[in-house]
A and B are shown apart, each in its own frame.
Chain A
């Protein structure tokens, strides 16, 4: 709940006009709805009394029928304007929230606290944000109009009959209490259980589908089906419980509204018999009691989503906080010196690096020292899983070592401003991330203001010029799903073209030719060498072909780095892959 409040507060701060304006506008149709019923009831009884007292008009009928028309009008158009304004505010807010959540996720990825990064987890975040639209529309607006209008009605009715007003207020308060439980701990735990059951089923079904080959051979197919079935049972049970609770809540509210009518009427009648109330106000009370629960019913319809929203708000808020922390860290770094690269000095140096994935796990890197003189080309080899890629990630500040220091161009990596770091160093690796947009947009991620000519130059250095020229849309060809599919080698080249647009001083290549066949690997390597001429290069590899042109070769094994002499001994060569 605290997270929800916090996010509501943010909304209020970002869009104060729409927030308060929407709230106030929401009161108008709600009040008009109650007033319409109340005046109608009052009008009928007043006219009946007038009719009884034989023509003596005690009540201005035209005034009453005018106010009936006015309230009907307010009801109709107030509702329209209110909905337009509150929805607009919500969408404005969600757009901001989405980018804040994005910042938070990136920040978490950066400081290594992201525990899971599967597509499931990411799409969960996306749907979390979408769920929060209800926070304003289905929680703040109906709840505040319900409480404020109930209060207002009681104040007005108090003059006519305090006793009946108290009865009215008590039943309405009881209804609110029932609904408040929907946002309570039990419901929240239930929502969590639902999420867990969902995730379990998702994982089991995808295991079943992806692994059906291995499962049919190793005989786990039936077992897997049963375990998925168990998840189904659990999910259905929780879901059924949820739906039953929601249905019962709505039933309780509807019953309470009938109780409210009956009890209010009884007290009004009693007040009249005691001589404390005028006759024509009895119907007024009955009809207010008839209209007032409408507020509760609209709350009851949305109450089912509160516990879901509350869980989503918790997660979103913690991401927003991460985003703010990283913003603070970045602004603290922003004043750092720029790295300087001079011949004869080290462009990159690592001292006494220690790294482990979790505090408890064994260290992957222990006391690693490394210095790269400006303009040198260094290759690190080692068995798979030795920590070569981790080392590359540490240099690029994608991972943070537990101990030790990294300097880039004489500046401590910890203090280096993000933009200066990214201008000085780039990683090209085995994983190429291609975005669902055009080739030009994919390249301009590296340099926003690059001209078309720059893009073509980069593509030609990467050996992709012919391919792109052969497409009808040229640079505007779409990549990814439904667009041009790039092969492994082409993807690698696109990443190289991107990096070339940056033109950094230090190039880190993490298993650049991994997974490519021999011929393709050679051409990718040739492009890489051409692009990085005269730059400082650190390559991480286990392929013999990548070692050509290296000034220095180091072996990473058991967490330590050791330099080997060139030319390579047969023993070392044997450890490499030679295809």
Chain B
């Protein structure tokens, strides 16, 4: 469908007038995407121009080909006039065809490869931006970012490799063709000179209306895909309520509405391509009639003194269709431009978000990095954090060094997760300090620090791959026995039986195939595998688990707390009951509730 809308957009922009008549009007405001795109493809522009030039030369070689053919035909008809041997003419035309082919493929290849290079550079830089980002940054949905990497950046390719070369040829090729016609007959050249620029003018007049309509149309199109997607996602409900048939009717009905509104736009948009046909057909007809009557001797104007010859007439007639061909190609590739610009808008939007955060991240870098000690104590002093105007943590103090199970409780939204993010170095503190072994955590290098902590997040991510590969992210050298042991500890070893292939079995994107409870316990096993972790942090580890399983998880946490400090954010009474220390976070203030010693079952 999007390609179809090319018909709407291809001819519907006032830019057609701007580019082809090269009346570059000033003061037209460019969109942020447009400016970014020009900047982004600048390194490749030289290559694109070179490719376009080769292709342009290839197109202009039609002039000698047409001249050869015209002379050869004229020679046969009027043996007394200027002529060429048919065989030599054919051979020369074929030779020129080979040269044209070579130039065109060469030029096209340069443009396509330049586009590929630009695409690759943009994708690579997006990936490294994403990697350097603080994980606490709020980003658009992952699917949206993925579609920027996959669909939008890809759309820059055809814009650069196809559209731009055509655009730069558009200003050269028709002019040279016009000059070659003018060499034979000024009258024919005058006709083309009038008709040529008229095409974009007419296209623009129709196009302005079509553009307005097509902007609305794009909305309907999005609705169309959106409705289908929405109904597909909810198809279980539709089945349960016997509403499948009705949804089919809805989809068909909306399709009908879509058709009618699209056709309203297309009927206008097609008018602009009709303008192209009109002028090119009229130019051919007029040239033919002019040449015909000149040859008959009825008309004798339009040349420089001597009357128009048959060879001259044939030549002019053969050049006319080629004069309109670049315009036709431009219109056909116009969709690439629209897609490229739309994609650029999306990319710019994301780029802005990424840049803001990179500045923050770069502050932390550039410090002298100290090796992380094997043991030590985590001390938080006078930590205050706010987001925007709202203060989230106020003057928090905490010390963690001995192996123990420490629980931070408090209703959701009181800043438990923010505290964890600060300890992990994902969020910078406004005031106060987080130190390990007496030095601020940033002095070890944030990456080193983060990788010395084991985390069980609230919404743990598992990755596309085998169970083993997922677990080994925490303990690279762990053997299968160690992995199985960790799974047992987290009470999730039944997965080995459930997933075909056991440790070598695949789990999908987003841990597909596992329930949330299983995912969380699996993530706990992963956290347990990091043997050299200085600290274990768990965020709501028992949420969504049934009683039996939750108890197993608590036991596992308890076991882990024998060797190192475990910090748990939770409001599950089972976990609170087994804690060595309980802290409450209330309105950003951390208060110790009670202190208990000794093991509990």
Question: Which residues in window 104-157 of A have CB below 8 A to B?
Answer: 105-106, 109-110, 118-120, 122-123, 125-127, 129-131, 133-134, 137
CA distance A251 to B104 in the complex (A): 7
Instruction: Say yes or no: A68 contacts B146, CB within 8 Å.
Output: no
Highest count of chain B CB atoms <10 Å: which of A119, A126, A129: A126
Counting CB contacts under 8 A, is A484 at the interface? no
A213-B461, A433-B236, A577-B546 known; A64+B263 contact, CB < 8 A: no
Counting CB contacts under 8 A, is B130 at the interface? yes
0 or 1 for each of A293-305: is its CB under 8 Å from B? (1 = yes): 0000000010001
Q: Which of A68, A126, A215, A427 contacts B229 (CB 8 A)?
A: A126
Q: Which of B93, B518, B526 contacts A385 (CB 8 A)?
A: B518
Name A119's closest neighbour in chain B (CB-CB).
B143
Q: Which of B145, B230, B256, B295 contacts A209 (CB 8 A)?
A: B145
Instruction: Say yes or no: B473 contacts A218, CB within 8 Å.
Output: yes
Question: Which residues in window 224-282 of A have CB below 8 A to B?
Answer: 224-225, 228-229, 232-233, 235-236, 239-240, 243-244, 247-248, 251-252, 254-255, 258-259, 261-263, 265-266, 269-270, 272, 279-280, 282
Instruction: Say yes or no: B109 contacts A61, CB within 8 Å.
Output: no
Name A64's closest neighbour in chain B (CB-CB).
B292
Counting CB contacts under 8 A, is A50 at the interface? yes
For residue A251, which residues in chain B have a CB less than 8 angstroms away from its CB? 101, 104-105, 108
- State the total of A-B contacts with C-beta under 8 angstroms: 442
Name A122's closest neighbour in chain B (CB-CB).
B232
For residue B293, which residues in chain A have a CB less than 8 angstroms away from its CB? 47, 61
CA distance A201 to B246 in the complex (A): 37
Q: How far is the CB of A259 from chain B (nearest CB, A)?
A: 6
Counting CB contacts under 8 A, is B248 at the interface? yes
A68-B285, A240-B112, A255-B101 known; A423+B242 contact, CB < 8 A: yes
Instruction: Say yes or no: B233 contacts A122, CB within 8 Å.
Output: yes
CA distance A48 to B78 in the complex (A): 9
Number of interface residues of A (CB under 8 A): 158
Question: Which residues in window 504-518 of B have CB below 8 A to A?
Answer: 509-510, 512, 515, 517-518
Instruction: Say yes or no: B226 contacts A259, CB within 8 Å.
Output: no
Q: How far is the CB of B105 from chain A (nearest CB, A)?
A: 5
Counting CB contacts under 8 A, is B362 at the interface? no
CA distance A573 to B497 in the complex (A): 27
Name B426's closest neighbour in chain A (CB-CB).
A213
Instruction: Say yes or no: B244 contacts A232, CB within 8 Å.
Output: no
For residue B282, which residues in chain A have a CB less than 8 angstroms away from its CB? 72
Interface size bracket, B side: 35 or more
Instruction: Say yes or no: B116 contacts A236, CB within 8 Å.
Output: yes
Q: How far is the CB of B97 from chain A (nearest CB, A)?
A: 4
Instruction: Say yes or no: B246 contacts A44, CB within 8 Å.
Output: no
Q: How far is the CB of B235 from chain A (nearest CB, A)?
A: 5
0 or 1 for each of A56-80: is its CB under 8 Å from B? (1 = yes): 0000010011001101100111011
Q: How far is the CB of B527 from chain A (nearest CB, A)?
A: 9
Instruction: Say yes or no: B498 contacts A362, CB within 8 Å.
Output: yes
Q: How far is the CB of A524 from chain B (nearest CB, A)?
A: 16
Counting CB contacts under 8 A, is B430 at the interface? no
For residue A49, which residues in chain B have a CB less than 8 angstroms away from its CB? 77
Name A229's closest neighbour in chain B (CB-CB).
B127
Instruction: Say yes or no: A286 contacts B454, CB within 8 Å.
Output: no
For residue B94, which residues in chain A have a CB less than 8 angstroms away from its CB? 258-259, 262
Q: Kindly specify which of B170-178, B182-190, B313-321, B554-562 makes contact with the partner chain.
A: B313-321
Instruction: Say yes or no: B246 contacts A91, CB within 8 Å.
Output: no
Counting CB contacts under 8 A, is B267 at the interface? yes
Q: How far is the CB of B121 from chain A (nearest CB, A)?
A: 10
Instruction: Say yes or no: B65 contacts A258, CB within 8 Å.
Output: yes
Q: Which of A45, A61, A202 contacts B310 (CB 8 A)?
A: A45
Name B317's closest neighbour in chain A (CB-CB).
A40
For residue B109, which residues in chain A have a CB less than 8 angstroms away from its CB? 244, 247
CA distance A517 to B352 in the complex (A): 38
Q: Kindly specify which of B19-27, B31-39, B269-277 makes contact with the partner chain.
A: B269-277
For residue A44, which residues in chain B have a CB less than 8 angstroms away from its CB? 288, 291-292, 295, 310, 313-314, 317
Instruction: Say yes or no: A362 contacts B497, CB within 8 Å.
Output: yes
Instruction: Say yes or no: A205 contacts B146, CB within 8 Å.
Output: yes
Instruction: Say yes or no: A123 contacts B288, CB within 8 Å.
Output: no
Instruction: Say yes or no: B296 contacts A247, CB within 8 Å.
Output: no
For residue A79, which residues in chain B have a CB less than 8 angstroms away from its CB? 273-274, 277
Counting CB contacts under 8 A, is A403 at the interface? no
Instruction: Say yes or no: B292 contacts A279, CB within 8 Å.
Output: no
Q: Kindly specify which of B376-384, B400-408, B445-453, B587-595 makes contact with the partner chain.
A: B445-453
Instruction: Say yes or no: B463 contacts A207, CB within 8 Å.
Output: yes
CA distance A48 to B313 in the complex (A): 10
Q: How far is the CB of A484 from chain B (nearest CB, A)?
A: 16
Q: Which of B116, B318, B454 contacts A217 (CB 8 A)?
A: B454
For residue B112, which residues in chain A have a CB less than 8 angstroms away from its CB? 240, 243-244, 247
Q: Which of B4, B233, B292 contacts A43 (CB 8 A)?
A: B292
16 cross-chain CB contacts under 8 A: A76-B278, A134-B4, A208-B130, A211-B461, A211-B463, A216-B424, A218-B526, A224-B463, A229-B127, A232-B127, A235-B154, A362-B498, A385-B515, A422-B239, A435-B230, A448-B246
- Can you name 13 extra interface pairs (CB under 8 A) apart from A217-B451, A498-B237? A29-B277, A40-B287, A41-B317, A79-B277, A91-B262, A94-B259, A98-B255, A99-B248, A99-B252, A126-B232, A131-B1, A229-B124, A384-B549
Ranked nearest first, the 6 interchain pairs of A and B with the lowest CB-CB distance are A95-B255, A40-B288, A91-B259, A211-B461, A433-B234, A422-B242
